[in-house]
Amino acid sequence: MIQPEGFMKNTYKLIWSDEALNNLKGIIDYLENRWTEREIKKFAQLLDKQLKLINDNPFYLLRAINQMD
């Protein structure tokens, strides 16, 4: 279903905890020592895509977990 631009726009915002930011920094530091720049860029693109999905569908994971019960 195609929705008009701005229709029921998501008003949620991802908020990173200090622990999550520290973990991400550790992951990036680890990858920078073991992966090529190209692989790191691809990882960053995939992470951005996943974060956008979470931001756009904040209750999706909860629905999926509830369906498993």
Range of the domain at 30: 18-68
Decide if 25 is inside a domain: yes
How far, in Å, CA of 17 to CA of 9, rounded?
24
Decide if 11 is inside a domain: no
Please give the tally of structural domains in the chain: 1
Q: What is the pLDDT of residues 10-64, one digit of tens each?
A: 677 889 999 999 999 999 999 999 999 999 999 999 999 999 988 888 887 777 7
Coil/strand/helix, residue 63:
helix
How far, in Å, CA of 48 to CA of 27, rounded?
15
pTM exceeding 0.85: no
Decide if 10 is inside a domain: no
Decide if 2 is inside a domain: no
Decide if 12 is inside a domain: no
